[in-house]
Amino acid sequence: MRMKALDGWRGIGALAVCFIHLQLNGYLTSVPSLDSWTLAVDFFFVLSGFVIARVYADELADGERVAIFAVRRLGRLWPLHLSMLALFIVVELAKLALQRETGFSSEHAAFAAARNPSDILPIALFLQTVRLGPELTWNFPSWSISAEIWTYAVFALVAVRTAGRPDRRMVVAGVIALAAWLILVVDITGRGMISTDVFGIVRCLLGFFSGVLAECLHRRGSFRSLADGRAEIPMALAGIGLVWATASLPEARYFAPLVFLALVFAHADDRGLLSRFMATWPVQWLGRLSYSIYLTHLFLVAYVVPRLSQTIDRLMPDAVATREGLVAAIYIALVMAFSLATWRFIELPGQRLAAAIAGRIRQSQTLSSKYSRSQLEITRL
């Protein structure tokens, strides 16, 4: 089941994150702060909650189906996550070998600072959010994937407990979202809606179950005027306004779940002008590559962009804005090429493997069910 407008928005959000990390690492100094663009992550959470609920909510009625859900989601997320972590490790090992063989020391020592070896196993197992503290290491955008994995577990439990009772599911989703929002408002760490640790899981629960609530309302036929296509542009402008307001008023972030709920809801039926734009093939490809874009770009920021920037600095020492624009354009081109490769050779094989494993589980479940019925018939005889 594909929702083209939402796929397109996912790709645009992934690109926004690319630019954020380019600026945070000092390569986009000539433009205003992009800190508020981190709201793209909260948009991802809401969008994910809507899509996952639409695809899986009615399926998750027992343990076997939950197992299939878990396999398919891990097959979607884990292969690329592990591959990118491994690639970071390979580069650090190469730096270490170079230091030992030649005595040459790069600007950043191997396995130091944000490349702490003790973090490798927790990150590989999606455990980086099960902690307190803002420190992020290695391929740190993966913190949100870790948070979402834990949120999937909560969602599966809710779906099983509310199977066949969509109204109850809607109420539970609303309660979870409200409770998560209140926890973040009173967050003792002071990070609230920018949390990336254990409170990052709460942040994900807030966004994800806001999306689940939106899907429940959409399925019930509520607020149909919001989904008829005419609200797409106003809701998109509301989202842009939120990002703009957050730049000067950080507390505006706390309105993000509600604004993004409405934005996702408005695009759910693919009926408006923006939906037609999102359905164009360039935007659809952007959406298809969004997960790869999200997880590969930091590798380029860490290891490729510094050399690229130094080279262009030497060629254009005085034109700061032009120089940074050229670095950004080449960087995005490299991200897209890299993402296309990882999507083709890592994401797709991982999804096919997960689908095969899920098929075996489903087949085993079918055979077990047939065997149970046969035994019952024999007993009756």
φ, ψ at 47 (rounded to 5°): -60, -45
Query: What is the enclosing helix (H) or strand (E) of 318?
Result: none
Of 53-62, 145-154, 339-348, minimum mean pLDDT range? 53-62
Alpha-carbon distance of 183 to 187, in angstroms, equals: 6
The residue ranking higher by pLDDT, 50 or 370, is: 50
- Minimal CA–CA distance to 183: which of 204, 155, 203? 203
Alpha-carbon distance of 219 to 166, in angstroms, equals: 9
CB 136 within 8 A of CB 143: yes
pLDDT at 379 over 70: no
Alpha-carbon distance of 136 to 27, in angstroms, equals: 20
pLDDT at 194 (0 to 100): 86
| Alpha carbon 14 to its chain's center | 8
| Overall residue count recorded for the chain in this entry | 381
Confidence of residue 366 (pLDDT cuts 50, 70, 90): low
Contacts of 371 (CB under 8 A, 6+ apart): none
Q: What is the mean pLDDT of residues 16-33?
A: 77
pLDDT at 101 (0 to 100): 76
pLDDT at 295 over 50: yes
Confidence of residue 310 (pLDDT cuts 50, 70, 90): confident
User: Left, alpha or beta for 270 (phi > 0: left; psi -120 to 50: alpha)?
Assistant: left
Number of H helices, E strands in the chain: 15, 0
Q: What is the mean pLDDT of residues 193-210?
A: 92
Alpha-carbon distance of 375 to 369, in angstroms, equals: 10
Alpha-carbon distance of 327 to 306, in angstroms, equals: 10
φ, ψ at 137 (rounded to 5°): -130, 170
What would you measure as the largest C-alpha separation in the chain, in angstroms?
92
Q: What is the pTM of this model?
A: 0.88
Confidence of residue 39 (pLDDT cuts 50, 70, 90): very high
Alpha-carbon distance of 95 to 301, in angstroms, equals: 17
Amino acid at 52: I
Token pair listed for 373:
């019925």
pLDDT tens digits for 126-175?
998 887 766 788 998 999 999 999 999 999 999 999 988 989 999 999 99
